A and B are shown apart, each in its own frame.
Chain A
């Protein structure tokens, strides 16, 4: 009896090991049975709201009469820790190893990531787009500083100044006015640590680059590092006037950390992502007395773009998706679902969120395309500003 039992146990153990290997087979068989239609796969990253909105877009695409008989659009969310590092790393690794690729046909690329792709892999990593296959491209209003032949922007987002309109009826209009306001109202402003979220990072980047020539914003040239110190002196000077806890100036972690302080009325102003504010006001987790404004010169924004990797074998299907994403229907889903800034003319878009965005113009979006200098900037901040008493 005992022998039988131990034998059974051993078999069971073996089964659990081999079981993992065989378990995935049926599903892959299932996929090939519908292969008359071409499956086109998008790799995207980012937060939960990005993922959910893409799922909605895919549903729309797959039921759209124009596409549903020809293609199946599949979205794969590549989760990552901070930022979209792992998606970028995987792509570059695949490109450098020159491996065969039939798992992804479209990837999400932010305008800042594009610079990194160009630095680390080179232009050949993406396909040159055939604009004649993307008729909706002509409605596009977003301006791009580089990669126009390889990228299709599909949504914009920007950091704005969020403020409590009950406490501040007249918010600052320029960056200089904001700095002066911070000095006059100690303890009422905070920005999150640049390493933990884009809103605080944008405050840092603009503080430094506002004091530098304009072309520096779109350059990853090492020579600009010499001019960083002026901006750091400004941040050091502002440091004692920022939000204090327990008598010490602190920088909250994560974008949400700064927003929590604003919601709790511990501060009355902070840089924040426009889409985070819209979705939180809609969900009711943020009072609608919180308003947004953009400074001059503004905080930085970003275009999220799509690109087709040169290794993709389904160029036609991928182009069809790019065209779909620029349609009014898709842009409305994006604005509804995540407060994404439309990249096309807003006249064809009917969304309750449109009003909240009406004071901003996508043409004014400012992007900091400084490539790998960005992480050096964050490191310098951690060493020089975070350590201040």
Chain B
């Protein structure tokens, strides 16, 4: 009898630690920020001013659209490169493809800050590329530093390996025998892609896309070290408002806005996960 009772509560006990952590360190701070974002700066009382500021101030509107633009472009380029690359390393038979698959793991082991400084040393105005050019008497200026181009380029460095890992794991679920069988009955490569590979992997590509999008909306290190002075990405703006201007109510409102931008893509993620085709659930 006693044993049964324990069995009943055991699952809850096991969930408890993670539940506590989620409530204390995720739910509570979010709730706190939401409440704070409606408070009058430096006083008490209810106001929408903190939000109105971000949607009426010209600079802030630019910062918001700029952030969405950079995050969106990063997603597009990441998937454009990562998807074909993942197909190649998964189905390629050569040694090169296996080598490349191992190679993409390396960036995951390099701390972000180190990577950003390294990239700066390469693409900077007095960086490696420019110096090699100077050896041959050429003046090569990429013009990447302090622009959105530099941020997107650096983001690709971080995100392509990540996306390849996610898409690659989806592709590894596709059996090579299926592809061979399709070939045997005369399917072209294009047909194989359209009818087999794409339907079985588009969902995971979307998952990768949403993760890439979300991580870039809140990015700080890359835009801070590589980006320009204006417009700025929201992660940098948040740091300015919080630790330089020290306007905590505005900072709270901005966090909520960033949270909402991310939830749009999170919504897309949940939607694609719910909408499973019948034949997939088997």
Contacts and interface: CB of A to CB of B under 8 A. Distances in A.
Interface stretch (A77-85, A124-132, A156-164): A77-85
Chain A CB within 10 A, most for which of B142, B147, B224, B230: B230
A9 B13 CA distance: 10
Interface in B1-50: 3, 6, 10, 13-14, 16-17
B200 interface: no
A211 interface: no
Nearest to A10: B13
B230 A387 contact: yes
Contact of A383 (B59, B125, B142, B145): B59
Given A6-B10, A9-B14, A246-B146, A81 B243 contact: yes
Given A10-B10, A13-B13, A379 B146 contact: no
Chain B CB within 10 A, most for which of A81, A257, A264: A264
Interface residues of A, number: 34
A85 B145 contact: no
A225 interface: no
A266 B124 CA distance: 11
B97 interface: no
B126 interface: yes
A91 interface: no
B228 interface: yes
B228 A250 contact: yes
Interface in B111-151: 124-126, 141-147
- Interface extent on B, as a size class? 20 to 34
B246 A193 contact: no
B246 A386 contact: no
Given A13-B13, A246-B143, A265-B126, A253 B244 contact: no
Interface string B210-246: 0000000000000011001110000000011001111
A74 B199 CA distance: 64
A378 B244 contact: yes
B80 to A, nearest CB: 24
A16 B145 CA distance: 46
Chain A CB within 10 A, most for which of B10, B142, B229: B229
Interface string B236-276: 00011001111000000000000000000000000000000
A382 interface: yes
Nearest to B20: A17
Nearest to B18: A13
Given A10-B14, A195-B240, A379 B245 contact: yes
B246 A245 contact: no
A14 B246 CA distance: 40
B229 A193 contact: yes
A13 B146 contact: no
Interface in A227-274: 245-248, 250-251, 253, 257, 264-266
Contacts of A265: 126
Contacts of A6: 10
A3 B2 CA distance: 13
Contacts of A245: 125, 143, 145-146
Interface in A53-100: 81-83, 85
Contacts of B243: 81-83, 85
A13 B11 CA distance: 12
Contacts, number: 72
Interface in A345-389: 375-376, 378-379, 382-383, 386-387
B240 A382 contact: yes
Contact of B125 (A14, A266, A386): A266
A16 B225 CA distance: 38
A248 B228 contact: yes
Contacts of A264: 124, 126
B256 to A, nearest CB: 21
A251 B236 CA distance: 15
B110 to A, nearest CB: 20
A379 to B, nearest CB: 5
Interface in A1-42: 3, 6-7, 9-10, 13-14, 16-17
A85 B17 contact: no
Given A10-B14, A246-B141, A266-B126, A386 B229 contact: yes
Given A9-B14, A387-B59, A253 B224 contact: yes
A386 B126 contact: no
A195 B10 contact: no
A37 B233 CA distance: 52
Nearest to B3: A3
B143 A247 contact: yes
A81 B3 CA distance: 52
A83 B14 CA distance: 42
Interface string A187-217: 0000001010000000000000000000000
A268 to B, nearest CB: 13
A85 B246 contact: yes
B193 to A, nearest CB: 39
A120 to B, nearest CB: 11
B90 to A, nearest CB: 36
Contacts of B224: 253
A248 B10 contact: no
B230 A375 contact: no
A162 B10 CA distance: 66
A15 to B, nearest CB: 11
B113 to A, nearest CB: 12
A14 B13 CA distance: 9
Contacts of A248: 146-147, 228
A14 B243 CA distance: 38
Contacts of A14: 13
10 contacts: A6-B10, A10-B14, A17-B17, A81-B239, A81-B243, A83-B244, A246-B143, A246-B145, A378-B245, A382-B240
9 interchain residue pairs of minimum CB distance: A246-B143, A386-B229, A264-B126, A250-B146, A387-B230, A386-B230, A195-B244, A82-B243, A81-B243
Given A13-B13, A248-B228, A250-B146, 12 more contacts: A3-B3, A13-B17, A81-B239, A82-B243, A193-B229, A246-B147, A250-B228, A253-B224, A264-B126, A265-B126, A375-B246, A379-B240
